[in-house]
Amino acid sequence: MERYDPIPLVAPLRQSDIVAAAKAVYEEMDTRRSVRTFSDEAVPREAVVYAIRAASTAQSGAHRQPWTFVLVRDAETKRDIRVAAESEERKNYQGGRLPPEWRQALEPLGTDWTKPFLETAPWLVVVFEQRYGVTEDGDRFHNYYVKESVGIACGLSGGTVVSQPWRPSRGPSGSSRAPRCRHNSKGSSARWSTAPSSVAVLSPPSRSLEVCRPA
The model's pLDDT over 47-74, given as tens digits with 9 standing for 90+, comes to 999 989 999 899 999 989 999 999 999 9
Label residue 7 by pLDDT band (50, 70, 90): confident
Among candidates 110, 134, 117, which has minimal Cα distance to 186? 134
Determine the average pLDDT of the residues in 193-207.
38
Sign of the Cα pseudo-torsion (82, 160, 149, 186, in order): positive
The whole-angstrom separation of Cα 80 and Cα 101 is: 30
Which architecture, in CATH terms, is 40-73+122-212?
Answer: 3-Layer(aba) Sandwich (3.40)
Given CA atoms 116, 117, 123, 128 in this order, what sign does their dihedral have? Answer: negative
**The predicted structure's pLDDT at residue 158:** 82
Examine the pLDDT at 171 and tell me if it is beyond 80.
no
Pairing mode of beta strands 124-129, 67-72: antiparallel
Rounded percentage of the chain residues whose pLDDT exceeds 70: 74
Name the pLDDT band for 210 (thresholds 50, 70, 90). very low
Main-chain dihedrals φ then ψ at residue 86, nearest 5 degrees: -70, -30
Residue with more model confidence, 91 or 2 = 91
pLDDT tens, 119-149? 999 999 999 999 999 999 999 999 999 999 9
Average pLDDT (167-190) is: 36
Instruction: Determine the pLDDT at residue 151.
Output: 94
pLDDT given for residue 162 in this prediction:
62
The model carries a pTM of 0.70
| Mean pLDDT rounded to a whole number for the chain | 77
Max intra-chain CA distance, the chain: 58
The type of residue at 108 is P
Give the per-residue pLDDT at 61.
Answer: 95
* Confidence at residue 2, expressed as pLDDT on a 0 to 100 scale: 77
What's residue 129's pLDDT?
A: 94
Residue 72's closest CA among 191, 204, 194, 168? 204
